Each structure stands twice: as structure tokens, then as C-alpha cells.
């Protein structure tokens, strides 16, 4: 397990903020029944933020034919959806919602070649709302497998997320289960699959990035 390389600054700022708050707390507040609970809470926040931005070591279960979960979270939607940006065809969409307590590192869903990657600025509606898929800040990536299938996915910012990191570049060779980026705070992943893909998860199911196979191509 390691800290995501794009979040060293964020975690450092959290610890600096906690350190300043603790100094002011112990320096100017004389009510110890207030000081110690608040200090414990601040230290908990610092530890939680470190864990939040960690990249866990996982067993890589995906391949060019087996689509693994891009993120930890809960499956909130499975159904038909027209992908109009790149594939321009009907697909089966699987949406995974990440809350504050999930690891927010993201991972490639399949092995293949990146054919498309695009960042879109936008709003910051709560990520579980349907309109978030089109109107929220998001990054889109399409991967072509060696067998010729395309898997398209969106990293969506949520109501509190303010930064999406995606490592995708057209022409890049990627391996299922290796890190593809991170989204800070509550957010969602929409994965667009061929309509003949065999979906292996259900709505409401909790999934783990890299390890849970969500579909078979």
C-alpha cells in the first residue's frame, strides 16, 4: 500500500492544518474537557485522510475479457444507456458510487490500448443523482481490448470532489487492475459495456476495485 503520487500536497496540507489547529487549541483553550476530544478528532481526521488517499495492494482479477471494478463502492445502476461521446451506440452501463469512506484510487477495468481520453469541466451535483453523469466535471476514457471490444468509463466528480486525476493518454497500453487515477471525495464511476457483455454484479452490491469482476466480454 502506498500514498497516491498526486496527493502528497493534499495530505501535507491536512497535517499542517491539524498541527496549527492543535497548537492554537492547546495554547489558548483552558478547558481540558474540550481540548482532548477536539484534539482526538483532529488526529482522526488526519489519519482518515491519509487512508483515503492510499492506493491499496489488490489481487488483479481483470483481463482483456474480464472487466474488473474501476473503484471501490456500491453498484447503484445497471441498465441500457446510449454513449454519445465516443462509442456513439447503445451500451449497458454499470454505475459505482463511492462515498467518503471508500478508497478513491481508480484502476483500469480491462487490459488493452487507450483509444480516447478527454477531460470535461462541469458542475458538482451530488454524484448519485442521474444528471451528474452529463453535467458534473468528469473525465472520459475508452480502452480497446486486443479482441476488439471497447470499454468506456467516466470518472465523475461529486458534490465535494474538486479534482479528478486520470493517467490515460491515447495510445497508452494498460493492464487491468493497475492504477489509472484518483478522484478526491465523494464521486462515481460510469462504465459503458457492449450490450452483449455478461453482467456479473447486481444493483446494491458492494464491489472492490481490481478484485470484483463486473462483466465478461
H helix runs in 79-200, sequence order: 132-135
Give the active site residues: 187
Mark residue 112 as left, alpha or beta (left: phi above 0; alpha: psi -120 to 50; beta: remaining): left
Q: How far is CA 3 from the centre of its chain?
A: 15
3-state secondary structure of 43: helix
Q: H or E segment at 182?
A: strand 179-183
> In angstroms, rounded to a whole number, what is the distance separating the alpha carbons of residues 182 and 173?
19
> In angstroms, rounded to a whole number, what is the distance separating the alpha carbons of residues 150 and 192?
9
Amino acid at each position: 500500500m502506498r500514498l497516491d503520487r498526486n496527493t502528497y500536497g493534499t495530505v501535507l496540507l491536512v497535517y499542517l492544518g491539524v498541527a496549527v489547529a492543535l497548537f492554537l487549541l492547546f495554547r489558548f483553550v483552558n478547558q481540558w474537557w474540550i481540548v482532548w476530544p477536539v484534539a482526538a478528532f483532529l488526529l482522526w481526521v488526519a489519519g482518515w485522510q491519509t487512508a483515503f488517499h492510499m492506493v491499496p495492494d489488490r489481487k488483479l482479477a481483470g483481463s482483456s475479457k474480464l472487466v474488473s471494478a474501476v473503484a471501490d463502492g456500491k453498484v447503484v445502476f445497471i441498465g441500457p444507456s446510449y454513449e454519445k461521446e465516443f462509442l456513439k451506440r447503445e451500451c449497458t452501463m454499470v454505475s459505482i458510487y463511492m462515498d467518503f469512506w471508500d478508497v478513491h484510487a481508480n484502476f483500469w477495468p480491462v487490459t488493452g490500448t487507450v483509444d480516447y481520453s478527454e477531460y470535461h469541466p462541469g458542475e458538482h451535483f451530488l454524484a448519485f443523482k442521474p444528471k451528474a453523469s452529463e453535467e458534473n466535471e468528469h473525465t472520459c476514457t475508452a480502452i480497446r481490448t486486443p479482441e476488439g471490444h471497447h470499454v468506456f468509463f467516466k470518472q465523475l466528480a461529486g458534490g465535494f470532489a474538486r479534482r479528478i486525476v486520470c493517467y490515460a493518454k491515447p495510445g497508452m497500453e494498460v493492464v487491468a487492475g493497475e492504477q489509472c487515477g484518483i478522484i478526491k471525495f465523494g464521486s462515481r464511476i460510469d462504465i459503458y459495456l457492449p450490450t452483449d457483455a455478461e453482467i456479473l454484479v447486481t444493483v446494491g452490491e458492494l464491489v472492490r476495485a481490481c478484485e470484483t469482476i463486473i462483466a465478461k466480454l
